[in-house]
Structure 1
Amino acid sequence: YRSIEDFIKDWTVEAEGTAKIFSSITDNTLKEKVHPDVRSLERLAWHLTQTITEMGHRAGLFTSDELEHVQTPDHASSLTDIYTQYANLMVKAIRSKYTDSALSDQVEMYGEQWEKGKILRVLIAHQTHHRGQMTVIMRILGLPVQGIYGPSREEWSEFGMVAPD
């Protein structure tokens, strides 16, 4: 990213999509494992939420990693609420601590030097990656999947169309 506002526009859309996916998770399906080597929806949702403060702290956006040692909430709705709270805090922190001209500045991230603009790109790519994993798990568990970049299979009928195979 070379512009804070470009990132914030993308982040806002992506965060809304993530909250939309989280909202389809039920308390009964939170901890279900579809395979021993696949994370539960609870773990993936909490990982995405914790990544906001973990990466945000490493990137100098937050003074601490507030969620590092916080236990996963007991209810799916709480996951959505906490995620949304920290996604919004990320926007405020970026607006107050980053500038367009500083997006090429280097920050130590995971033993490497990353441009601040790259950090912002990775935040979105990381979230999109795990959100995709979540939708596959949701399908396996029989949960409805919300469309993010277009209608999901379940949503085609709302447009009076048959979902493609």
Structure 2
Amino acid sequence: MSMIEMFRKELQQESAITRKMLERIPDDKYDWKPHEKSMSIRQLSTHIAELPTWMPMVLNTEELDFATAPYEPKQIDNTADLMKYFEQSLQEGLAGLVPENEEKVNEMWVLRNGNDIYSKTTKAEFLRITMNQITHHRAQMGVFLRLLDIPIPGSYGPSADDVSF
């Protein structure tokens, strides 16, 4: 199995878990955050939903420089719009994970803010970081939902709220 095939399969599998987590967000909680230093549910869920688009962005560019391309998140105000955005992002992500991009996975890729280098890795390594970010932020969302007493879906097995897995 090629690296592109592996990432494509993993993104498809992880998207089912992500979908279950995002669809539980109540429309009236988008401004809620557990702590003043935390992101709001809107910020966190929008970032989770957009992360699949990082796959083709990494494969088709040499770097992302926040100094020249400032982060401008999409404004999401309800779960129906969030789910549409996630599905669009997922399709964009999968569209970039095609066999002809296999030749790019060993090229270098940089994440920076001007002269501050956050990451300089192969594209394959940053695709892995992107997948890890999806899991990391999804786990954060699980904590947010737990604090709001919203049942948490199972991820890699049952949860205390979802034993059906």
Q: TM-score range by the shorter chain?
A: 0.7 to 0.9
After superposition, the C-alpha distances for 1:84-125 in whole angstroms (9 at most, x for unaligned) are 2111211111216511x4321212333343211112101110
Distance 1:60 1:97, change over 3 A: farther
User: In structure 2, how many angstroms separate the alpha carbons of the residues matched to 1:86 and 1:23?
Assistant: 15
Aligned to 1:119: 126
2:111 matches 1:104 = no
What runs of 5+ residues in structure 2 fail to find an aligned partner? Answer: 62-70
Matches of residues 25-64 of structure 1 in structure 2 within 5 Å?
25-53=25-53, 56-60=56-60
Distance 1:45 1:132, change over 3 A: same
Q: Return structure 1 stretches of 4+ with deviation > 4 angstroms.
A: none
Aligned to 1:78: 81
Please state whether the residue corresponding to 2:120 is helix, strand or coil: strand
The 8 Å contact of residues 41 and 137 in structure 1, kept in 2 or not, is answered as yes
Counting strand residues as a fraction of each chain, which structure ranks higher? 2
Aligned to 2:7: 7
Q: CA deviation at 1:69?
A: 3.5
Q: TM-score, normalised by structure 2?
A: 0.80
Please state whether the residue corresponding to 1:113 is helix, strand or coil: strand
Please state whether the residue corresponding to 1:143 is helix, strand or coil: coil
What runs of 5+ residues in structure 1 fail to find an aligned partner? Answer: 62-67, 160-165
Cα RMSD (Å): 2.5
After superposition, the C-alpha distances for 1:24-75 in whole angstroms (9 at most, x for unaligned) are 10101222122212222211011223344456435426xxxxxx54542221
The 8 Å contact of residues 139 and 145 in structure 1, kept in 2 or not, is answered as yes
After superposition, the C-alpha distances for 1:106-147 in whole angstroms (9 at most, x for unaligned) are 123333432111121011101111110110110000111111
Q: Percent identity?
A: 25
User: In structure 1, how many angstroms separate the alpha carbons of the residues matched to 2:5 and 2:86?
Assistant: 21
Q: TM-score, normalised by structure 1?
A: 0.80
User: In structure 1, how many angstroms separate the alpha carbons of the residues matched to 2:160 and 2:19?
Assistant: 19
2:144 matches 1:141 = no
